[in-house]
A and B are shown apart, each in its own frame.
Chain A
């Protein structure tokens, strides 16, 4: 795929309008706002923290390994188990599974290579279908190289936090664009870093994790987590 064709492919599959169910998840943000733990001016810092301390060290590693192993089902099943184990918060784990299945469902219907064998494994009870594994498989299936796949995933996660924050009334549309621009150099640097082994996965976002644990007890919920 030439550069321009690759860019257009990344734009299509990185678009916030791509039907993968992402709009229904806030990954702890809704509860943080409900609990008064985050302010408009603090959103940029929150976004950078989520990307650095969760996406970069956990999701990115699983996506990259799944992308590299897109045709190797037994390796994908092991990565799916790992994603399940690393999602220690119930609402995050359920969200990762539901978002993964929704994204996979669309790619199945589009006929993306690699989607059907993974779906068969999920239907057969051999995998859960966690989002980072599905992302790795389908982004490889549509022909994106590893770094482009990571860029699509990173941008998708960051813009999903931004649109959730807008809909929850925390930030404005301009705040969102400024936050995305501010985090971009960080994301580019992280994507270019050497890929850790799966034994070196980490995740440390305690405030968001506690908020996500409290989500099921909130009296009002617009989002799934």
Chain B
């Protein structure tokens, strides 16, 4: 329905899985690919995530908006995404050359999903330290997201997780749709995520 503006990508996932860390790594990776970018964060408690991003100086502060969720992280990305849509529309107005808006959900549970009126594509971030049984729980976030990211793969040996079966189970639960692994702290696996996003919504060849 909306006029053509920037593509919108949602990033959801449980608390502490590494959504903000992934955004911090994706910003330079997307800049390197020539993508003009802005970010919206939905913080559960404070402007923590937006402030954290602003402190990194990766993006001009006016390209990072915070939308409060009134303690309803599900609602603001799904049942009533209007405030996020307004924030994204305002970024489109302020930055006419914008290619991409990343919308980072507040930390939530495995049942969170994005409204397709809000985003064109969305990814769900889990981490190995959350347990290798997460894919088996088949939460809507794990199943329905366009891309599943398994973060903190470096921690696998320390939390009793064997990565290969976890990836296999995640792929099986998603009927073969994409699963990528990252270690955001060490900037590992980020290029593959950036390539996947660019291919999916910006039609750039990897």
Quick one: CB contact mask for B77-90 with A, threshold 8 Å, 1 for yes?
00111110110010
Give B42's nearest chain A residue, CB to CB: A24
Alpha-carbon distance between A21 and B85 when the two chains are bound, in angstroms: 10
Asked if B70 is at the interface (CB within 8 A of a chain A CB), the reply is yes
Question: Majority SS of interface residues in chain B?
Answer: loop
Q: Pick the contact of A20 from B68, B76, B80, B117 — CB < 8 Å?
A: B80
Instruction: Name A16's closest neighbour in chain B (CB-CB).
Output: B80
A220 at the binding interface (Cβ < 8 Å): yes
Contact B68 A221 (CB under 8 A): yes
* B-binding segment of A62-70, A101-109, A135-143, A199-207: A101-109
CA distance A19 to B71 in the complex (A): 16
On chain B, the residues within 8 Å of A219 by CB distance are: 46
Interface range, B side: 20 to 34
Give the residues from 77 to 105 in chain B that come closer than 8 angstroms, CB to CB, to chain A: 79-83, 85-86, 89, 93
Residues B81 and A223 in contact, CB atoms below 8 Å apart: no
- Point out the residues of chain B lying under 8 angstroms from A222, CB to CB: 44-45, 68-71
**Complex interface bits, B12-34 against A, C-beta within 8 A gives 1, otherwise 0:** 00000000000000000000000
A interface bracket (residues with beta carbon within 8 Å of B): 20 to 34
* Chain A hits for B75, CB < 8 A: 23
Q: Which residues of chain A from 5 to 31 have any CB-CB distance to chain B below 8 Å in the complex?
A: 17-26
Listed in ascending order, the chain B residues whose CB lies under 8 Å from chain A are 1, 44-47, 67-72, 75-76, 79-83, 85-86, 89, 93, 117
